[in-house]
Each structure stands twice: as C-alpha cells, then as structure tokens.
C-alpha cells in the first residue's frame, strides 16, 4: 500500500459545537458545510474538509483517513488488507457521500483505533477562506493534514508490522522522551511523504487514546499570533510551551482542544528528501516545549478490563 497523506481526521464529542468558534478564532480554520446531524467540518484548503467533529456522547476518535492516489491503488490496497487479515469494510454510497470521497474502506489497527483508506476526495478550486486573517496558509494539499499521535499500552511487533507492513509507512525515528505524566517512553514516528511524520505511537502501560494532532502554517507569525491569543484567554489551556523538537525544524506549541486531545500548532516544519538518513537526537527538545499541564490529555484513558 502506498499512502500519500494523512487526508482527514474525525472525532465524536458532546462539545462539537465549541469548534465553531475554536477552529476559526485560534487557527484560522474555515467552517465548512455542516452535516445533517450538526457535524462541524473544518477546512484547511480547497478540500471539502480536513477535520470533522461529530455529535457524540463521549470524546473519542471516529476515524483516521489515509489518502491513496487513485481507484487502482485503492482496489489494490483493499485486496492487500484482506490478504493480511485486516478485514476491510467497504463504505456504502451514504458513507462515501458523507466523507465526500469516491472510494472508502474501513479497518482497525491492532489496538482498535479506526482507520480508513480512500481516494477521490471532493475539492472546489479557490474556495478556501480562512476563519481569521492569516500571514500565511495551512500546509495541506498533497501533504495532508499534519500528524496524529496515539498512546498505546505497548509498541508491539504486531503494531510495527501493521504500521510498516500494512499501511506501508516508513519509520522516521524513535527515541527516549519525557511524557506528560513525567515518565519516560520511547515513541515511534512514521512518515508517508516529505513531512517528517504523519503518525506516532507512544507506549504507556495501561493507557490508550489520542494524545494530540498537529497542523501547520507556512508562516511563523500565524503561530505567534495564536500563542498570544491563547495566553490572553482563560478557556484554552496551553499544555506545552513554545519550542522546537530536536528531531525537526518545526516551531510549535500545544493547547487543549474542546474535545480533550491536544493540538500542536507550528510552522517551519522540515521536508525530507530522498537522501534522508535516520538519526537519534540526544534530547527530545532543542529548546522550550515545557509541560505546563498535569498528565495526559483526557482522551488518553486507562484501559478497562
């Protein structure tokens, strides 16, 4: 399977309508056409949506959408998923219409997180209008949304095989890092295009959930203005201060979203070339990125028996 990008993300939340203000005011995301059930679709570019927050009784991940290049690649990928025991479930006409894609198949990873592959996403040329004035624009298009990071009880060989052998992602790196609860873990980050990573797993015994997603602007000024804004307000907690990871050139900070997971907002992210060589940073941070919130995001929960 050849995944081109992390194309979209979907969540369920009882607080879904808070995104109507949060998305545009903080980042400049555009509110797209609402779903029949009130779902909030947020746009970063001319695609129909990049982030969707559906009504739901609890804060949870609904799907991770991986973009394939065409119908032939999709057909081949579905056959590959079936051959590898992933039991893909083809989306019907209503599901394809809801996602605004031409082909859709759903399956789970070894820890039960819901993934989708798709092709033929709807777009309208020249239609994106940012929710607030921006100095730059979102890094999206063929490079996708950014990345998503999951907490799992452990990074197992089965999970690694799923990520590289099934999804076909390439390991960007894995290193020792301090986690939000003060412990030390060895996260693994994977890539599918020139961006350093689109997917990450952090192994934490007894825990599971979405820790954060990341979006990026082409201009650092947009990040700086968001940094100022969230510090002036008391309803958007900063969870990690402004800083730069040692492994990437992205300058970013993290905040808590209305749905409980964190969002990393950054600029100046590195784009890798074909001569990329995997290295091991001596520390996880070049500067900044201090934890200022206690523990994991509320969407990371203890496993239930």
pTM of the model: 0.95
Write down the CATH superfamily of domain 5-121. 2,3-Dihydroxybiphenyl 1,2-Dioxygenase, domain 1 (3.10.180.10)
Segments of the chain assigned E as strands: 5-13, 30-31, 40-43, 51-55, 60-67, 89-90, 103-108, 114-119, 147-152, 170-174, 177-178, 184-185, 188-191, 199-203, 207-217, 238-245, 251-256, 262-267, 285-288, 300-302
Q: Tell me which fold the domain 147-302 belongs to.
A: 2,3-Dihydroxybiphenyl 1,2-Dioxygenase; domain 1 (3.10.180)
- Phi (first) and psi of residue 54, to 5 degrees: -90, 155
* Tokens representing residue 81 in the block: 């998923």
With contact defined as beta carbons under 8 Å apart, do 26 and 236 qualify? yes
pLDDT in tens, the chain (305 residues): 999 999 999 999 999 999 999 999 999 999 999 999 999 999 999 999 999 999 999 999 999 999 999 999 999 999 999 999 999 999 999 999 999 999 999 999 999 999 999 999 999 999 999 999 999 999 999 999 999 999 999 999 999 999 999 999 999 988 777 788 777 778 899 999 999 999 999 999 999 999 999 999 999 999 999 999 999 999 999 999 999 999 899 999 999 999 999 999 999 999 999 889 988 888 889 999 999 998 899 999 999 86
> HSE of 72 in the Cβ direction (CA atoms, 13 Å)?
0
- Provide CATH 3.10.180.10 ranges for the chain: 5-121, 147-302
Residue 273 is given by DSSP the state -
Radius of gyration of the chain (CA): 18
């Amino acid at each position: 399977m050849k995944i081109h990008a992390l194309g979209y993300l979907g969540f369920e939340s009882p607080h879904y309508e808070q995104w109507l203000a949060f998305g545009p005011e903080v980042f400049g995301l555009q509110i797209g056409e609402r779903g029949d059930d009130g779902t909030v679709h947020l746009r970063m570019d001319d695609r129909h949506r990049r982030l969707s927050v559906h009504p739901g009784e609890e804060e949870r991940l609904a799907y991770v959408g991986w973009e394939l290049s065409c119908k032939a690649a999709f057909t081949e990928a579905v056959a590959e998923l079936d051959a590898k025991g992933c039991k893909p479930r083809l989306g019907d006409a209503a599901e394809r219409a809801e996602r605004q894609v031409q082909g859709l198949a759903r399956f789970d990873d070894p820890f039960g997180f819901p993934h989708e592959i798709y092709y033929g996403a709807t777009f309208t040329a020249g239609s994106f209008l940012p929710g607030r004035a921006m100095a730059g624009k979102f890094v999206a298009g063929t490079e996708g949304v950014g990345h998503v990071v999951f907490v799992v009880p452990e990074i197992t060989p089965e999970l690694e095989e799923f990520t590289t052998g099934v999804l076909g992602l390439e390991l960007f790196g894995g290193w020792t890092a301090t986690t939000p609860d003060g412990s030390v873990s060895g996260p693994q980050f994977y890539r599918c295009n020139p961006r350093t990573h689109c997917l990450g797993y952090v192994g934490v015994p007894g825990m599971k959930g979405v820790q954060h997603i990341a979006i990026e602007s082409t201009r650092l000024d947009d990040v700086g203005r968001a940094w100022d804004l969230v510090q002036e307000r008391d309803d958007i907690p900063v969870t990690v201060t402004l800083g730069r990871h040692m492994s990437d050139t992205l300058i970013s900070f993290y905040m808590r979203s209305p749905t409980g997971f964190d969002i990393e907002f950054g600029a100046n992210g590195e784009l890798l070339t074909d001569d990329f060589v995997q290295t091991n940073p001596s520390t996880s941070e070049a500067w900044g990125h201090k934890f200022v919130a206690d523990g994991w995001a509320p969407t990371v929960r203890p496993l239930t028996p």
